[in-house]
């Protein structure tokens, strides 16, 4: 049973791949790495870092699930270690960090305050943060830390004055006795708390986890979970989730770890549900097995399709101000497919010419016979909006001197030139249009 439990809940390790991904600023090289951030990675144990990153100066490990400071003693160049928001209860194994200048243990579970005496060997330690730890509630906490670490200059973001240090040294023995007494009381309560949490975990962990139940059932009976337990309703699941978060519990490393396990199990269940839905969902196809192309219009865009012996005309209305990179056109002998913003718009090649128009009222439609005699649709420009190109040629430039102007000077086909009004006065101060 223990082997099954450990296999399902193996603590995440600091792998080489994780370090290389976090070392992008160093071209993925970890041996010469001087700074690495491993925060919010659900790490439960510090390992491999001191073997692969000997030159580290700054190490961020905040907001993980680390219960113990270990495997950092060989980081001789380490100057800043951030272990905030973890499950650390004792300050230890930092004697080898000779260059340690700043240590951040904010919001951990350090209750054995006397363990700070191990930091005496860190001669370059100048800043220490213990805010949010149980030991900060002890009477005489600050005096004890200041008197125990003479090299310290800042404690919990507040500078240690010379007068404060002298007073702490004068009362050091009395404060030490007071701290040890409070520490013993705390550790006794903590042991009792661990026993309670251990009993609750042993009784509920195996019952609540569906994967463990399934494995146990297979090992004992050779069958999966019974149908009743596997067919929970959505309402029961929501009630259980709400009860878990609303139930009051002490803030301990065990409760924090239990919350993490709960979130991880929920994430795995949701992932399995999504994968199951993705597998069961029937994938829609635009082309059938026998080669027929289906007529679809997912974006519901207005369009018209006209077919003739020599051409195929597709008029598609797309969204205003849409970038052309979001439009993909695929023309095949038997069909035309237009993809707009990821939405497929397909159309089968029709046998008879059909027209479906959503025209604008300002457009005038005319029909003319083409070379083959089939009808096609053209747009006619309003003659009142026509522009005489010959009248906008700058003075001094004659069409005969410029082939381009010569071609522009011809009147548009089917458009009459508008005569100049008798009241028109040519103002010489107005610059030419070209």
Task: Provide DSSP, 146-186.
Answer: HHH-TT--EETTEEPPHHHHHHHHHTHHHHHHHHHHHHHHH
- 1-283 maps to CATH 3.80.10.10: yes
Rounded Cα–Cα distance for residues 33 and 50 (Å) = 11
Query: How would residue 342 be classed by pLDDT, with cut points 50, 70 and 90?
Result: low
Asked whether the beta carbons of 196 and 189 are under 8 A apart, the reply is no
- Nearest alpha-carbon partner for 71 in 94, 100, 89: 94
Query: How would residue 394 be classed by pLDDT, with cut points 50, 70 and 90?
Result: low
For residues 392-415, give the mean pLDDT: 49
Q: Which two tokens stand for residue 103?
A: 């240590």
Asked whether the beta carbons of 40 and 19 are under 8 A apart, the reply is no
pLDDT tens track for 168-190:
999 999 999 999 999 999 999 99
Residue 375 has pLDDT above 90, yes or no: no
Counting residues of the chain whose pLDDT is more than 90, the rounded percentage is 34
- Rounded to the nearest 5 percent, the helix, strand and coil shares of the chain are 40, 15, 50
- Nearest alpha-carbon partner for 116 in 66, 63, 69: 69
The region of weakest confidence among 86-90, 282-286, 399-403 is 399-403
Rounded Cα–Cα distance for residues 23 and 262 (Å) = 31
Residue 412 has pLDDT above 60, yes or no: no
What are the beta bridge partners of residue 378?
366
- Nearest alpha-carbon partner for 23 in 39, 41, 40, 35: 35
What is the predicted pLDDT for the residue at 172?
93
pTM listed for this prediction: 0.57
Mean pLDDT, the chain, integer: 76
What is the predicted pLDDT for the residue at 79?
96
Query: How would residue 124 be classed by pLDDT, with cut points 50, 70 and 90?
Result: very high
Residues in the chain: 434
- Nearest alpha-carbon partner for 197 in 208, 185, 207, 189: 189
Choice between 378 and 193, residue whose per-residue pLDDT is larger: 193
Give start and end residues of each alpha helix (H) in 233-370.
234-246, 253-280
Query: How would residue 223 be classed by pLDDT, with cut points 50, 70 and 90?
Result: very low
Residue 27, classed as helix, strand or coil, is: coil
Q: Where are the domains of the chain?
A: 1-283, 296-380, 381-434
For residues 101-123, give the mean pLDDT: 95
Choice between 108 and 228, residue whose per-residue pLDDT is larger: 108
């Amino acid at each position: 049973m223990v082997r099954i439990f450990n296999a399902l809940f193996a603590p995440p390790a600091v792998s080489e791949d994780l370090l290389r991904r976090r070392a992008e600023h160093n071209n993925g090289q970890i041996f010469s790495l001087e700074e690495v951030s491993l925060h919010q990675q659900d790490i439960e144990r510090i390992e491999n870092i001191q073997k692969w990153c000997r030159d580290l100066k700054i190490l961020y490990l905040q907001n993980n699930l680390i219960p113990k400071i270990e495997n950092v003693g060989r980081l001789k160049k380490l100057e800043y270690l951030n272990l905030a928001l973890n499950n650390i209860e004792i300050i230890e194994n930092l004697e080898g960090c000779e260059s340690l200048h700043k240590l951040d243990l904010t919001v951990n579970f350090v209750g054995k305050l006397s363990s700070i005496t191990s930091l005496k060997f860190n001669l370059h330690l100048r800043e220490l943060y213990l805010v949010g730890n149980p030991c900060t509630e002890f009477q005489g906490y600050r005096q004890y830390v200041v008197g125990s670490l003479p090299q310290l200059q800042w404690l919990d973001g507040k500078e240690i004055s010379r007068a404060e240090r002298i007073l702490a040294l004068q009362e050091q023995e009395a404060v030490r006795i007071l701290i040890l007494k409070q520490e013993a009381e705390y550790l006794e309560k903590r042991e009792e708390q661990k026993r309670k949490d251990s009993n609750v975990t042993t009784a509920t962990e195996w019952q609540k986890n569906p994967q463990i139940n399934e494995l146990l059932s297979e090992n004992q009976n050779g069958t999966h979970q019974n149908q009743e337990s596997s067919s929970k309703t959505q309402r029961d699941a929501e009630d259980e989730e709400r009860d878990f978060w609303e139930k009051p519990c002490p803030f301990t490393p065990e409760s924090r770890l239990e919350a993490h396990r709960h979130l991880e199990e929920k994430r795995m269940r949701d992932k399995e549900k999504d994968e199951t839905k993705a597998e069961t969902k029937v994938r829609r196809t635009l082309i059938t097995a026998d080669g027929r192309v289906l007529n679809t219009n997912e974006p519901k865009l207005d369009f018209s399709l006209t077919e003739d012996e020599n051409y195929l005309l597709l008029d598609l209305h797309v969204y205003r101000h849409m970038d052309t990179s979001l439009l993909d056109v695929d023309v095949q002998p038997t069909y035309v497919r237009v993809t707009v913003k990821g939405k497929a718009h397909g159309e089968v090649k029709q046998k008879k010419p059909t027209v479906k128009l959503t025209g604008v009222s300002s457009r005038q439609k005319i029909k003319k016979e083409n070379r083959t005699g089939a009808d096609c649709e053209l747009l006619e420009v309003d003659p009142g909006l026509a522009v005489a190109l010959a009248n906008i040629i700058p003075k001094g430039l004659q069409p005969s001197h410029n082939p381009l102007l010569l071609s522009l000077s011809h009147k548009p086909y089917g458009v009459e030139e508008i005569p100049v009004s008798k009241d028109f006065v040519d103002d010489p101060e107005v610059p030419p249009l070209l």
